Structure 1
Amino acid sequence: MNAAFQPYPFEAKRYDARLPDCVDGRETQRHAVTIVGGGPVGLAIALGLAQHGVRSVLIEADDSVCYGSRAICISRRSLEIIERLGALDGFLAKGLPWTGGRSFYRHDEVLHFTMPQDDNQKLPPMVNLAQYHIEQFLLDAAERHADLIDIRWRTRVTAIRHDEHGATLTLSTPASDYAAQTDWLVAADGGRSTVRDALGLKLQGTSYEGRYVIVDILLDSARPTERLAYFDPASNPGSTVLVHKQPDNVWRIDYQLRDDEDADEAVKPGNVMPRVQSLLDMMGETAPWSPVWITIYKANALTLERYRHGRVLFAGDAAHLVPIFGVRGANSGIDDADNLAWKLAYVTQGRAHASLLDSYSDERVFAAHENLSYGTKSTEFMAPPSFAFELMRKAVLSLALKHPGVRSLINPRQTSAIAYTDSPLNAASDAFACGPAPGAVLPECPLTIVDRDGAHFTAHLTDLVGPRFTALWFSNESESAIPADIAALEAGFAARDIPFTLIPITREAPADSARRGAWDHTGRLFPMYGVERTALYLVRPDGHVLGRWQGVRDERRDETAKLAQHALAAIDRALHG
């Protein structure tokens, strides 16, 4: 064991501050969107806006991507979003995929869980990747959009004034201070949000007393990638330890402190090193190791009750703080970004009324309460806040040794895509036996794509989602043409200046091999989506269903006209109220 700290096997590029053109301490250009915070959420919002052709200024106080592992688990849903942002390749090349984990009570394994993974899926359920890599890959993508994303490093927000027209920021750099004006301000500046404080807003919810020390170490081990949880282990009696393998031989270890331990003393290397060594001895890891980062964490389950305050919008940890158990922190922030970017883009481009941004708040506050509900249950088990919870946990762990029925209580439910079941955007739709209802995301399934040149290739349903609305027209008859009213949707959306794509999907390969669209070569897609004969699904740019309607067998003109009218009415209502 080497007690000296080692540098991360990752070297971040450092950036200097840059002053824009100013007159009398005021920037000459007014901006459409300014984002405060250059972490994963701020970068994802900037990339999402760029996908719609909207320029933004990104304000970041530091001079590089972050240091320390911080967020490390990226979910399948987040990977789908990141792919649409053009940054997926690095995540898959560097990240370590995993599908499950194991929990131990003292010396005995009491749970082996797996996350959903089947032949329909394109992406793994979870990838381990430290936050500095996450930020770097998103930054690499942002730098490819330098014409639309203006990143200002080493720039701090020191004051904010906002009104019904936008906001004025006082910004400080090592060289000079200046004021900048913006039509819309997005706060993605973390749990200690400067913007939130400037507006006098407070997070509401529960702060737990339980504290965890987080240690990143370098360790060369062939152990597989999975989530490991140790309850009352010999290395840390009476508490909990979590272990995650990361790329580059970095291991993340989280262990709970006893109530009587001093936090300042607990993070000193002389106190951390013996505990880590004891854990590794218990795990049977004998290779040399060295620490690279130590910090402390306290679980919070907090949120703002509204994420839109006039022309100021909140996302990520600036809007909500979620316990680490179930890996909802960064993943919920990326979901915030995906929801906000297209709506803010449509508003700034004049394609939608500003009230569309109220639905961002409605949907993501709902999602935050869902995440906090599961996070709270997990926290109460992983770090019991009282003697009663501690007694319950001990009983569950003891029973789990011989009673499989209680083992599910041990595992914190992992993050998953949240359906906006009560979203104000959801269109009145027909009843389906199954499939994604309005507000839900599209379940994944392979299909065969026929492009405009007649080339055939295998893809997945989520590949069809882009920075636009998408209509999926399901039809039984491979030889039939797209009904005229359904085909006319493209003209209807164009008249409204709404980016749109119509994708015909058939049960069998189309008789015309050059016909653009897709077909269900696995035979799984139609049953999965509850389509009996024909159906129309209207999908938002973030992959959530806006509305769905059943068709009829013979595709009669009057029936298909109604489907088209439903889709156009749903768009008008969503974008303009």
Structure 2
Amino acid sequence: MHKPTTEPRPSIYYPYQVFKPWLPSAHGAQPRRQVVIVGCGPAGMVAALELARLGVASVLLSAELQVSQGSRAIVFTRRSLEILQQVGVAQRITDNGLPWRFGNSFYRGQRVFRMEALHDADDRFFPMTNIQQQYLEEYLLDACAASPLIDLRWGNKLTRLEQLDGYARLEVDTPEGPYTLESDWVVAADGGRSGIRSALNLQMEGASYEGFFVIADIRVDLPLPTERLAFFDPEWNPGNTVLLHREPHGIWRVDYQLPPGETPEEALRPESLKQRIDAQLALIGHAGASWEMDWCSVYSARTLTLPDYVHGSVLFTGDAAHLLPIFGVRGANTAFQDSQSLAWHLAFVIKGLAGRKLLANFSAERVGAAREIIDEAGKSTRFMAPPTRGFKLLRDAVLSLSLTQEFVRPLYHWRTSRPHEYTESMLNSRGDDNALFSAGPAHGAPPQNVRLGASDFLLDHLGGGFDLLYFTEAEAIPAPLLQVVEAVRARGVPLKIVAIGAAQPVAGADLTLGDADGHVRRRYGVQASGGAYLLRPDQHVCARWLTLDATRLQAAFDAALPR
């Protein structure tokens, strides 16, 4: 019998709420479900919310009775907030988080590199926003509770999964005993120690780096801006790296590498934590500052991924699918992209709008994204924590030269997480004008936001299905294009036409956005005479044209929705 703790987790700033468990005796016989999501972290909840937006119901299982302990993921990228805007929680994050765009690297008391993330007037969100994961989970939980299509079950732990002919049977334990639940599909969002991954005997590919890192969240008053601070080879931690991040509510994260041979148990002893945190505060000029511990943990750097995210009726997302170093804010930010992609691919298969081949595309795209991230993160990890004597010699040479030589300083760049571009996706249209564009998002890229007014942006109007951005100043969408659109809609495909450029509503369009100064057209690389983009439900570009006709539009849908 599963007995999750009913004691609120300790915290000096976050008021943990303990939820009541979902008990089978109160709900009677369980019909087969379309989707069961195992894991109620950010990856699982975003998957549930995105499925719900597309009309697909899900059961969301949480083995615990409260949100996760500790700040965990704290840095969320612009693209993550664009995804979270789609599920209705981005505004709460920006209202309560700390935006930032600069990162600083220090060596021997000197700032040797300053990273500046791009940000302009067309961006609704800052490049990065800091907020503790507990708050993110709280906001997502509120959104899940507001959806009639999400059945969230606290205190429900998956103990066994059996794949049968076209569905899965799950054994779920609760505080009053187990019950059986059948589902057409199972989403494994059960984290880095995924029990589902282990039960299916699946092996990840990649590398694990030796050594450990400590995360310590402390409350301390430091008069410093919200910027990433990285200290290389400090006197108190020779040969290693220390990171500092500011969080809301007066909390600071101290993240430091341990010397070889030190165990996690040794590192988390109170006297060890105090000595090292005091030393780091002294390094930044605040010796003797009073501080209070909230949460601490130990992690290691790993660059691993499953080679396939689809196994029968089970689909993997987030840390259950891959394990990535946190350098470059890759963990939760990658999980949001995973879950957004998984949800629309799976929803379209469930609704019969495409064949199972679409799920193979989900896996290929997201495995490709993970491998790109692994390549980038591996470079950052080898610089932050050199795995061999040779890498250490190279890193130390860069450190030394950076004190006087400008040309080596960009090697400190930490390769921030960025959205993957599905350049080779099988969903991209091969007969469009992608190669003829000189600007704008290309095949597989996410869209570019554009400011339309004081608090009005292009991406505010997109999402929930396919979006056809049709640039025109004409009075109406051409009839042949509308015939294709209506035929696609008749199949049940959610599709919206957004006319851009005209001053008055365009007949046949669902929405008309003016572009009197041509700014949107310039951002998207189209001419005043017209042009068009087709965005998938995850908003990535699957086709773009300088001129569009009905035949080419139909071909794009045929490619994007394989039977």
Q: Over residues 184-240 of structure 1, what are the superposed CA-to-partner deviations in whole Å (9 max), with x where a residue is unaligned?
A: 000000011011111110111100002101101011233110100000112322210
- The aligned amino acid for 2:555 is A
Does residue 425 (structure 1) correspond to residue 420 (structure 2)? The answer is no
Q: Which residue of 1 aligns with 2:416?
A: 414
Are the aligned partners of 1:21 and 1:28 in contact in 2 as well (CA < 8 Å)? no
Does residue 283 (structure 1) correspond to residue 284 (structure 2)? The answer is yes
Partner Cα separation in structure 1 for residue 110 and residue 38 of structure 2: 47
Between 155-164 and 357-366, report the one with greater CA deviation. 155-164
Partner Cα separation in structure 1 for residue 186 and residue 43 of structure 2: 14
Would the alpha carbon gap of residues 464 and 488 (structure 1) be closer, same or farther in structure 2, given more than 3 Å must change?
A: farther
Are the aligned partners of 2:281 and 2:289 in contact in 1 as well (CA < 8 Å)? no
Q: Percent identity?
A: 43
The one of 9, 15, 26 aligned to 1:11: 15
* Equivalent runs, 1:538-577 vs 2, <5 Å: 538-551=534-547, 560=548, 563-577=549-563
Q: What is the CA distance between 1:134 and its match in structure 2? A: 1.4
Partner Cα separation in structure 1 for residue 554 and residue 203 of structure 2: 40
Are the aligned partners of 1:60 and 1:154 in contact in 2 as well (CA < 8 Å)? yes
TM-score by length of 1: 0.91
Partner Cα separation in structure 1 for residue 201 and residue 272 of structure 2: 39
Match of 1:196, SS state, is: helix
* Equivalent runs, 1:61-460 vs 2, <5 Å: 61-145=63-147, 147-285=148-286, 287-428=289-430, 429-430=432-433, 431-447=436-452, 459-460=456-457
Would the alpha carbon gap of residues 536 and 152 (structure 1) be closer, same or farther in structure 2, given more than 3 Å must change?
A: same
Q: What is the CA distance between 1:287 and its match in structure 2? A: 4.0
Partner Cα separation in structure 1 for residue 445 and residue 289 of structure 2: 46
Q: Which residue of 2 aligns with 1:454?
A: none
- The aligned amino acid for 1:575 is L
Partner Cα separation in structure 2 for residue 70 and residue 522 of structure 1: 44
Partner Cα separation in structure 2 for residue 232 and residue 195 of structure 1: 40
Partner Cα separation in structure 1 for residue 414 and residue 72 of structure 2: 19
Q: Which residue of 2 aligns with 1:481?
A: 476
Q: What is the CA distance between 1:514 and its match in structure 2? A: 13
The one of 491, 495, 502 aligned to 1:500: 495
Partner Cα separation in structure 2 for residue 245 and residue 537 of structure 1: 40
TM-score by length of 2: 0.94
Match of 1:295, SS state, is: strand
Q: Over residues 462-482 of structure 1, what are the superposed CA-to-partner deviations in whole Å (9 max), with x where a residue is unaligned?
A: 22321111100112xx35433
Does residue 523 (structure 1) correspond to residue 518 (structure 2)? The answer is yes
Give 5+ residue unaligned stretches, structure 2: 1-8
Q: Which residue of 2 aligns with 1:35?
A: 37
Are the aligned partners of 1:104 and 1:230 in contact in 2 as well (CA < 8 Å)? yes
Equivalent residues, number: 549
Q: What is the CA distance between 1:521 and its match in structure 2? A: 4.4
Partner Cα separation in structure 1 for residue 336 and residue 136 of structure 2: 11
Are the aligned partners of 2:477 and 2:506 in contact in 1 as well (CA < 8 Å)? no
Match of 1:209, SS state, is: coil
Partner Cα separation in structure 2 for residue 427 and residue 55 of structure 1: 31
Cα RMSD between the aligned structures?
2.1
Would the alpha carbon gap of residues 21 and 342 (structure 1) be closer, same or farther in structure 2, given more than 3 Å must change?
A: farther
Give 5+ residue unaligned stretches, structure 1: 449-456, 552-559
Between 200-209 and 344-353, report the one with greater CA deviation. 344-353
Q: Over residues 470-503 of structure 1, what are the superposed CA-to-partner deviations in whole Å (9 max), with x where a residue is unaligned?
A: 100112xx35433222344442322221111101
Partner Cα separation in structure 2 for residue 542 and residue 316 of structure 1: 16
Partner Cα separation in structure 2 for residue 306 and residue 260 of structure 1: 35
Partner Cα separation in structure 2 for residue 425 and residue 465 of structure 1: 19
Would the alpha carbon gap of residues 513 and 549 (structure 1) be closer, same or farther in structure 2, given more than 3 Å must change?
A: closer
Q: Over residues 218-263 of structure 1, what are the superposed CA-to-partner deviations in whole Å (9 max), with x where a residue is unaligned?
A: 1123311010000011232221000100001111111000103232
Would the alpha carbon gap of residues 39 and 358 (structure 1) be closer, same or farther in structure 2, given more than 3 Å must change?
A: same
Match of 1:436, SS state, is: coil
